[in-house]
Amino acid sequence: MIDLHTHSLLSDGELLPSELARRAKVKGYSIIGISDHVDPTNLEDVATSILKLAAKASSYNDIMVVPGVELTHVPPDIIGELVKEARRLGIYYVVVHGETIAEPVEEGTNRSAIEAGADILAHPGLISMEDMGLAAKKGVLIEISARKGHSLTNGHVAALAKKTGARLVLDTDSHSPSDLITDSEGLKIVMGAGLSRDDFHIMQRNAEELARRVFNR
């Protein structure tokens, strides 16, 4: 399993990054991205902490741990500058918390994230065809979510991605150990969204390509 959207106790997750990585390895993960929630108040602090993982990467045997952040509930008009700031601080990849129907995310967040060139737009809710098409053009990965609530629009997201050619990834948005999933569980989520076994493998490959590109830069 390759999963680029998880949270540690650096934000609202339950585990230290090290324990999260260990539990993911035992679950069968080959790559885990830890992308804690940030906004202008904590971006620098979280970046400083999570980037210590990069310095200790060789200690995490048999699992690649990739440090990222998730811009969460920030005003759309500052998403672009925060994406740039995260990258300036050395963050490997940037997720933006999309317009899930499970939370009151500000309208325009999806478009701003795509225009900013975020690496992943998480749980984008009832994303428009126009925004999905723009994501396809800009190479922004769109998330199919395993998380309760966020997953309610997976079918809509999958259908528009198929029509526009946007590239998908499967993520858990894990906050606790019980949120981590196996490959077989991930496949069921993908198929439940109206996609196929082949789509699952393509999504995992999309995630791996991003992880290896940013990890080895």
The pLDDT tens digits for 79-137 are 999 999 999 999 999 999 999 999 999 999 999 999 999 999 999 999 999 999 999 99
Answer CATH for 2-10+33-215 from 3.90.940.20, 3.20.20.60, 3.40.50.300, 3.20.20.140: 3.20.20.140
Q: Tell whether the model's pLDDT for residue 55 goes beyond 90.
A: no
Whether 135 contacts 166, CB under 8 Å: yes
State the amino acid at position 104 in one-letter form. Answer: P
Burial of 172 (0-12, 13-18, 19+ CB in 10 A): buried
What confidence category does residue 183 fall into, taking pLDDT thresholds of 50, 70 and 90?
A: very high
Cα→Cα distances 84→3, 33, 63, 139, Å: 23, 19, 28, 17
What average pLDDT does the structure give for the chain? 96
55's tokens: 């310095």
What local confidence, expressed as pLDDT, does residue 59 receive? 78
pLDDT at 217 over 80: no
What is the DSSP secondary-structure string of 114-136?
A: HHTT-SEEE---S--HHHHHHHH
Instruction: With beta carbons less than 8 A apart as the criterion, state whether 206 and 31 touch.
Output: no
Q: 101 CB contacts (<8 Å, ≥6 apart)?
A: 125, 126, 149, 152, 153
With bands split at pLDDT 50, 70 and 90, how would you rate the model's confidence at 18?
A: very high
The backbone torsions φ and ψ at residue 87, rounded to the nearest 5 degrees and listed phi first, read: -70, -35
pLDDT for 215: 85
142: closest CA among 192, 203, 85? 203
The answer to whether 111 touches 134, Cβ cutoff 8 Å, is: yes
Name beta bridge partners: 141. Answer: 120
Burial class (CB in 10 A: 0-12, 13-18, 19+), 103: middle
**Which residue in the block uniquely carries the two structure tokens 């260990």?**
22
HEC string for 33-59 = EEEEEECCCCHHHHHHHHCHHHHCHHH
pLDDT class for 50, splitting at 50, 70, 90? very high
Are 99 and 125 a contacting pair, CB within 8 Å? yes
Q: What is the pTM of this model?
A: 0.97
Indicate if the pLDDT at residue 62 is higher than 90. no
Q: Which two tokens stand for residue 101?
A: 């129907």
